[in-house]
Amino acid sequence: MYQFEELQQRFETYFNRRHFPDQPKSLYDPCEYFLTLGGKRIRPILCMMGNELFDEIVPDAYQVASAIELFHNFTLIHDDIMDKAPLRRGMPTVHALHGEATALLAGDVVLVGAYEHLNRIDPIYMKSIIALFNTTAKEVCEGQQLDMDFEQLNDLTLDQYLHMITLKTSVLLAASLQMGAILGGAGAGNQQHLYAFGKNLGIAFQIQDDYLDAFGDPEKFGKQVGGDIMANKKTFLMIHALETATPVRQEELKMLMRENPADKVPRVLEIFRETGIEQWALALKDQYLSVAFQHLEDIAVVGSRKQPLMRLAQYLVQRDK
């Protein structure tokens, strides 16, 4: 059994190479640039862990893991266009460097590159893996669309936000694990438990992310603290505050989002704190975590095989950066 760091190293050794042809440079160099920006490669490693939960890692796991990482990068390149984001992982985004048209096309070919990896795997599980991959790909697009739709919505409920965030981020974590499970020869029941583990873990992770954006240590948190508040993003925290603050404070929150005063972040944080939001968010996170771990427990393999996944899950939701 390998721990996260070992799998990360093995995956990086396989993945860190040129993925696309040399020409035309104007299309493929932006793709290569974006892929070298890195990230923690969590999704491909979840795929490899999903495989190893049931059996030794098969060579095809590297193909599927690469497809997943390319897919993830495709979504980031396109999301950055839609969000007009200037930076990703502290570096200029593809559209910031090369314009929206090239970034759009770069995302497109990176997605095609993902399918090239999927086309190399053993036919015995190719259909089931591509089917799950396609379903997930559509769901991630749905999540991104809902995210944009919800920006226009005044009264977003927590349920709506949960549905959106599940599609936008959790299903890919879940599917990465399940694709690994398919490669490892898992039965349908075990696959479903592993998928549910990933989905609930993903939601806990998002709650953590929203929480850290507001209350994280600026030294440790990679991004600007309060960035979501500045951008009027609807997060778990903002939705909860809009639902539970006193009527006067709700009006104040709406005014702050409308008028963007210079002291917006501290004033929003003050209202957040008044609603007891820190305890609420941490309790909600723990709730999803415990559902996740129950599903992991229900998987019919010896407990020791689950240890690397358990450790990774703990790391993901306790990270402070």
- What is the binding site for its own copies (CB under 8 A)? 20-21, 23-24, 26-27, 78, 81-82, 100-102, 104-105, 107-109, 111-113, 115-116, 119, 123, 126-127, 130-131, 134, 137-138, 141-142, 144-146, 148-149
Closer Cβ to its own copies, 109 or 268, answer by number: 109
Q: DSSP letters along 196-240, please? A: HHHHHHHHHHHHHHHHHHHHS-TTTSSS-TTHHHHTT---HHHHH
Three-class DSSP category at 296 = helix
Shortest distance (Å) from residue 81 CB to its own copies: 6
Closer Cβ to its own copies, 103 or 238, answer by number: 103
Element (H, E) at 178: helix 171-183
Closer Cβ to its own copies, 3 or 135, answer by number: 135
The contacts of residue 304 (CB under 8 Å, 6+ apart) are 1
Shortest distance (Å) from residue 149 CB to its own copies: 5
Shortest distance (Å) from residue 181 CB to its own copies: 19
Class of residue 130 by CB neighbours under 10 A (exposed 0-12, middle 13-18, buried 19+): middle
Report the greatest alpha carbon distance in the chain.
Answer: 61
Closer Cβ to its own copies, 21 or 189, answer by number: 21
Shortest distance (Å) from residue 110 CB to its own copies: 10
Shortest distance (Å) from residue 260 CB to its own copies: 22
Distance CA 193, CA 291 (A): 10
In degrees rounded to 5, what are phi and psi of residue 178? -65, -40
Closer Cβ to its own copies, 149 or 251, answer by number: 149
